[in-house]
Structure 1
Amino acid sequence: MHLNRVEKIDDKVVVKNVLASVADKNGIEFFVRELISINPEVHIYSTGGTYSKIREILGSGYEKNLKKVSDYTGQPEMQGGLVKTLDFKIYLGLLSETYNDAHKKDLERTSAIEFDMVVVNLYPFKETISMDDVTLEDARANIDIGGPCMLRASAKNFLRVASVCNPDDYQEIIKIMKDNDGALPLDFRFALAEKTFKHTAEYDTEISSYIAGADYKGFYNV
């Protein structure tokens, strides 16, 4: 398998295209309004409840800045929201490298765009399994798949993508963007990537520990 070795990147990347899917809506109104204030042409691609929330925040004229992921990919969401963002065009936009000519051709061929920022927080698995009356099915339903994939892809490509996994970071991100004409510098993108990988590792550890001690026998009709 051939592995790319990237040498040329940009220090500062202007945030033009944002991919957002948040279970925790705290702070999202502040963040979205500030992103648009900094760059009135920013495009936010979103799904499900996050799309509905941002549409509510923006009100009339939301179409200028807000796009449905399903409209972008050309694929509807799977029933139950099980598949929303697991799509080639999404990951092409997350993992493509700025100065890679082959990647540029792929983007052109598929009419894909490069995402500059991913804003994702995960299904509340830890909180769910902490409830007294939680069932295995409750826990299973709260195992996030698409969220960790988007976070890990964006964190891997910190070369040009900012991975945002915690609403507590929204204010700092906005401040840095304002100080850098709408861009985020490499050192900050790298710090976000470090935080993201720690977060997804802890999330998977919670799931692994729960599954190891769970009893599925007698729960399902087989």
Structure 2
Amino acid sequence: MSMNIVEKIDDRVRVRHVLISVSDKSGLDVFVPRLLSINPELKIFSTGGTFARLSEILGERAGRCLTPVSDYTGQPETQGGLVKTLDFKIYLGLLTETYNDAHQADLARTGAVPIDMVVVNLYPFRETIAKAGVTPEGARGNIDIGGPCMIRASAKNFIRVAAVVDPDDYGPIADEMAAADGHLSLAQRYRLAGKAFDHTAAYDTAIARYFSATDIDAVQAIYNV
């Protein structure tokens, strides 16, 4: 497998396209309007319940800046929201490199856009398994797939993309953007990437420990095997 060697990046990246898909929606009511006040041309892609919440927050402004991911990708969400963001256009937008001509040609060919920030937090797996009487099926249903994929892709591409997993970072991110004409620095993106990988590692560890601690008899009983 050949690997791209990136030698040129921008220290400061202007945030123009943001993808937001969160379980914990706290702080969005302040963060998103502030992002739009910093860059009124900002475009936001979102899914499911997050899209509904952002529509409430933004009101009539939503029509100008908010797009369902399914409209962007051209693929409707599957039943139960099982597949929403696992799409070529999404990952092309997350992983493209600014000064890679082939990547830029792929964006033009597919009608994709470079996504500059991903705001994602994950299905509440640990909270679910902490509840009394939770079943293996209840636990399984709260294993997030698309969220960790987007977090990892955006964190890997910290050379251009900001991976935001913690609402406590909304304020510092907006402060930096406000002071820098809507840009985020490499230092900030790199810090966020480290935090993002820590977030997904802890999430996967919790899932692995649950599987190790749950006897197969309990699993078979749930599914009448």
User: For this structure pair, what is the TM-score category when the shorter chain's length is used for normalisation?
Assistant: over 0.9
> Which residue type is aligned with residue 54 of structure 1?
L
Instruction: Report the aligned-residue RMSD.
Output: 0.7
Q: Could you tell me the percent identity over the aligned residues?
A: 63
- The aligned counterpart of 1:154 is 154
Q: Which residue is equivalent to 2:85?
A: 85
**Aligned pair 1:200/2:200, yes or no?**
yes
TM-score, normalised via structure 2 length:
0.97
How far apart are 1:213 and its partner, in Å? 1.4
State the shift of 1:99 in Å: 0.3
Aligned to 1:129: 129
Q: Which residue of 2 aligns with 1:178?
A: 178
> What runs of 5+ residues in structure 2 fail to find an aligned partner?
none
1:135 aligned partner, one-letter code: T
Alpha-carbon deviations, 1:109-140, whole Å to 9, x = none?
A: 00000000000000010111001121111110
CA distance in 2, matches of 1:196, 1:17: 19
Alignment of 1:1-222 (within 5 A): 1-215=1-215, 216-222=219-225
TM-score scaled to structure 1, two decimals?
0.99
> In the TM superposition, what is the alpha-carbon distance from 1:218 to its structure 2 partner?
1.6
Cα distance in 2 for partners of 1:218, 1:53 equals: 38
Q: Distance in 2 between matches of 1:200 and 1:101?
A: 31
Which amino acid in 2 is paired with 1:154? S
AA at the equivalent of 1:14: R
Q: Which has the higher helix share?
A: 2
Q: In structure 2, the residue corresponding to 1:61 is in which secondary structure?
A: helix
In structure 1, the residue corresponding to 2:45 is in which secondary structure? strand
Give deviations 1:41-76, integer Å, cap 9, x for gaps.
100100000000000101113111101100000000
**Partners of 2:153 and 2:11 in 1: how far apart?**
19
Question: Which stretches of structure 1, 4 residues or longer, exceed 6 Å deviation after superposition?
Answer: none
| Matched AA of 2:196 | T
Per-residue deviation at 1:221?
A: 2.8
SS in 2 for 1:59: helix
| C-alpha distance after superposition, 1:132-186 (max 9, x if no partner) | 1211111101000000000000000000000000001101111111111110000
Count of matched residue positions in the alignment of Structure 1 and Structure 2: 222
Point out where structure 1 has 5 or more consecutive residues left out of the alignment.
none
Aligned residue identity for 1:211: F
